[in-house]
Amino acid sequence: MADNRSDELRLTGYSPGVVGKITELHAVYYHQNWGFDASFETQVGRELSEFVRDFKEERDGLWIAWRSSVFAGAVAIDGHRADAEGARLRWFIVDPESQGSGIGGALLRTAIAFCNGKGYRPIYLWTFQGLNAARSLYRRHGFVLTEENAVDQWGQRIIEQKYELVRET
């Protein structure tokens, strides 16, 4: 009989090595699926490293998803400009082998609950056109598209999109 406990989802905070794991998953996934170049990987690595370096538990959130003790995804809330702009949801990704398993929803719900507990309004994120599964997940959780711009970045022409979740106070 299989031991289902070993396949249970665990969400943790920072642990040594997760900056590399999150950066690598982003770099590989977006290069293989969207043709993003090295500038994407270096931007993710630099900005994520700065976020972790300046992390304040009372302001920021970082959640790492593990399935069977294997890294399966992550999400962060950057609250350093929450008073002026809102809280920014960042580095949301689920390993392709775990997509469709509910990990993305669990990570997103955790991030939103953190923001609700802090009174952060709005919550926003930047993504790009074409990530249909993520867009569907955002919409199911109340995010709405508020801005679109065509930009040349990461070696591609993309339509970047801003989604926002505004809750009543």
pLDDT digits (tens, 9 = 90+) for 17-64: 999 999 999 999 999 999 999 999 999 999 999 999 999 999 999 999
**pLDDT at 2 (0 to 100):** 36
Domain count for the chain, please give it: 1
Q: Does residue 149 fall inside a structural domain?
A: no
Percent of the chain at pLDDT exceeding 70: 94
CA dihedral 52, 56, 59, 65 (to 10 degrees): 50
Residue 156 domain-assigned (yes or no): no
With respect to residue 55, please indicate whether it lies within any of the assigned structural domains. yes
Domain interval for residue 62: 4-119
Q: Identity (one letter) of the amino acid at 101?
A: S
Question: pTM of the prediction?
Answer: 0.90
Tokens in use for 123?
């919550």
Q: What's the full length of the chain, in residues? A: 169
pLDDT at 6: 45
Is residue 132 included in any domain, yes or no? no
Distances (CA, A) of 152 to 40, 158, 164: 12, 6, 23
